[in-house]
Structure 1
Amino acid sequence: MDRWPALFTERQVIAEFRRIVAKDPLESFLGGLDAFVPSLLQLYRSAAASGRKLALSSILDSLQKEDTNQSQRKAALLGLPYYISDDPSDVIRMCDVHGETLDVLMAGMEVGLLIGHEAPLQDAFPLEVFNVAVVVEEKIILHNIRDVPTGFAMLLGIIYCFNLEYPRNMKYTFEFLQRVIMSIQPEQCSARVHGLRNKLLRYRK
């Protein structure tokens, strides 16, 4: 941050990512995400109904309270690690402004997102988000991000800009976001991500 202070803004992350990958991270991410959201939610419903992925049930229940496009995006993203059998606990954390201090919340976060909400969290994810922040090595390096999908796009942008490794406990989630949602080197999918992509393509037919 001392060497490249200007890079730690949303605008500069977008510019640097575009220079490296020749894509706008926000446009590419949101466009790819919207193409797969209906199929992802359909897969989650099937998995939850079968009893195989119980964590998805609470996410889908939250979605029933506000079934907007933005809530569908949030549900698709926050449900992905559970469906693909990753562990998001050290990567994605909810932040109640009246709850624990930031130091406590960021403990153990090498790379991740803090999702800020004002009211106590009663559901799997907050319907009203006031701030999303990108965390690297237990420090906030980008904040005031307007929503969860943009937060994910900026997190991927930061990882690319600084050549960081994907969090080990969510490596398949991030691989899916990179290779399927953003279509960056899609031919290099692992077997698990390739299988999920094929399922989604069948649902889209």
Structure 2
Amino acid sequence: MRIYDLQEQRDVNMRRALVLRALPVYLREDASKFFRTCNSADGPDLTDTPVALLTVVTDNTTDAALFSPESICIVVEDEMLVSGPTNLADSFLLLFGYVYALDLQYPKNLELTFTFIQKVVMCLEDNKPLKGRLLTLKNDLFNE
């Protein structure tokens, strides 16, 4: 958030990336194995990576580079499927499409995050009610 606050021009893609990075933190989930970062000079270690977004940055990385990376790769079952768009929101949406198309399970450590995005952000219902923190977050968002 500090990086976002320091920007002279506010970019909607940066705001979306900030929200996607903050949502698991708010929901008390561990996103460290999902949002991965690697240096473009080094090859990433994708061992034991069921689903991830891999942000590829250059050697002289600053914190702000995470918001405008060289590329973002979609990883499924230890393999890079595609080098997606360079903004996190579009890459996440593309990954969501792969999850549906390949009938994959949501990552266990990010189940609340994916469920929130599915049901509240994308309005894709599965006829199961929202529980606990997800319902509270939805109510807080729509009551403001």
Q: Scaled by the length of structure 2, what TM-score is found?
A: 0.88
Structure with larger RCO (C-alpha < 8 A, sep 6+): 1
Whole-Å Cα distance in 2 between the matches of residues 186 and 69 of structure 1?
Answer: 29
Q: CA RMSD in A?
A: 1.8
**1:79 — aligned with what?**
22
Whole-Å Cα distance in 2 between the matches of residues 142 and 195 of structure 1?
Answer: 35
**2:134 — aligned with what?**
193
Alpha-carbon distance, 1:196 to partner: 0.9
Deviation sequence 1:15-64 (CA, Å, 0-9, x none): xxxxxxxxxxxxxxxxxxxxxxxxxxxxxxxxxxxxxxxxxxxxx11212
Count of residue correspondences: 141
Deviating beyond 3 angstroms after TM superposition, the runs of 4 or more aligned structure 1 residues are 119-122
**1:65 — aligned with what?**
6
Alpha-carbon distance, 1:77 to partner: 0.7
Alpha-carbon distance, 1:119 to partner: 4.5
Distance of aligned partners of 1:124 and 1:88 in 2 relative to their CA distance in 1, 3 Å threshold: farther
Q: Which amino acid aligns with 1:164?
A: L
1:153 aligns with 2:93: yes
SS at match of 2:38: strand
> In the alignment, is the contact (CA less than 8 A) between 1:62 and 1:125 conserved in 2?
no
Once the two structures are superposed, the pairs formed by residues 130-149 of structure 1 within 5 Å of their partners are: 130-149=70-89
Whole-Å Cα distance in 1 between the matches of residues 47 and 3 of structure 2?
Answer: 27
Long gaps (5+) in structure 1:
1-59
Whole-Å Cα distance in 1 between the matches of residues 3 and 115 of structure 2?
Answer: 26
Long gaps (5+) in structure 2:
none
Alpha-carbon distance, 1:101 to partner: 1.8
> In the alignment, is the contact (CA less than 8 A) between 1:115 and 1:133 conserved in 2?
yes
**1:126 — aligned with what?**
66
Q: Scaled by the length of structure 1, what TM-score is found?
A: 0.63
- Correspondent of 2:116 among 176, 181, 186: 176
Q: Which amino acid aligns with 1:195?
A: T
Whichever of the two has the greater Rg, that structure is: 1
User: Which deviates further from its counterpart, 61-70 or 75-84?
Assistant: 61-70
Distance of aligned partners of 1:136 and 1:160 in 2 relative to their CA distance in 1, 3 Å threshold: same
> In the alignment, is the contact (CA less than 8 A) between 1:90 and 1:108 conserved in 2?
no
Alpha-carbon distance, 1:73 to partner: 0.8
> In the alignment, is the contact (CA less than 8 A) between 1:96 and 1:120 conserved in 2?
no
1:95 aligns with 2:38: yes
Whole-Å Cα distance in 1 between the matches of residues 59 and 3 of structure 2?
Answer: 15
